[in-house]
Amino acid sequence: MRTLTAVSLLVLLAACGDGFHNQPLGRAELRGRVVGADPAVASVSVLPGDAASADGGVGAAPLATVGVDAEGRFVVPDVPATRVTLYVVGSPSQALYLTVDLQPAQVTDVGDVTLQSAASLTVVVRDDAGRLLPGAEVDVDGTPFGRQTTDTAGSALFSPVAAACYRIRVRAEGFLDAELSRCVSTGEAVQVDVTLQPKR
């Protein structure tokens, strides 16, 4: 098997040895192994399209999320046969994106996936007077974490975050929605300050 060290790698089915695997037409299967994964926290999420692009992510929920076994192996059955992005979390401090092209009715084995040190992204929300806003809803598109709510310190933590650019959306009752983009690098701890304006 090959070891994947790039953040984003185009995997062609022609390079895989599994071939046809009784998948329905228009669907496919993904498999691989996350090197050094902690099975207690490791996961593989399938996002539509190229979520690692520089435009701040695809802005869609994962198509599927699976865990890994004791050896770090994973199988994602019945996914659309198209370009997808895997969001691979191996431990609380490791993650990466992996872009894969899937062919209909076939199995793609991405081989061994070697993770990178991940970043963390903390979103701190305030009102226009500078007061911290608990209870604000925060989405970071292109990640599998889902919507989070700010705590009493007005913050929401997204971690581990793969090195990429993300679109951040914030909303709170009585305030105008806010949207911005932020890029993070490998191993970086980033705080994003967001000020919401009240509705008039």
Six-digit token pair at 148? 């989070």
Q: Under 8 Å CB-to-CB from 198, ≥6 apart: which residues?
A: 127, 128, 174, 175, 176
Report the half-sphere exposure of 18 (CA within 13 A, side-chain side). Answer: 20
pLDDT per residue as tens digits for the range 142-171: 888 889 999 999 999 999 998 888 899 999
What mean pLDDT is predicted for residues 58-72?
A: 84
pLDDT of residue 25: 58
**What's the CATH fold of domain 119-196?**
Immunoglobulin-like (2.60.40)
- Considering the chain, what percentage of its residues have pLDDT values greater than 70? 82
CATH number for the domain running over 3-114: 2.60.40.10
pLDDT of residue 10: 40
The answer to whether residue 11 scores a pLDDT higher than 60 is no
CA distance 84 to 81: 8
* Domain ranges across the chain: 3-114, 119-196
CA distance 166 to 188: 14
Q: How many CB atoms lie under 10 A from the CB of residue 132?
A: 15
Provide the strand spans (E) within 92-177.
Answer: 94-101, 107-114, 119-127, 137-140, 148-149, 155-161, 164-171
* Degrees, nearest 5: CA angle 61-67-69: 165
pLDDT per residue as tens digits for the range 167-200: 999 999 999 999 999 999 988 999 999 999 999 8
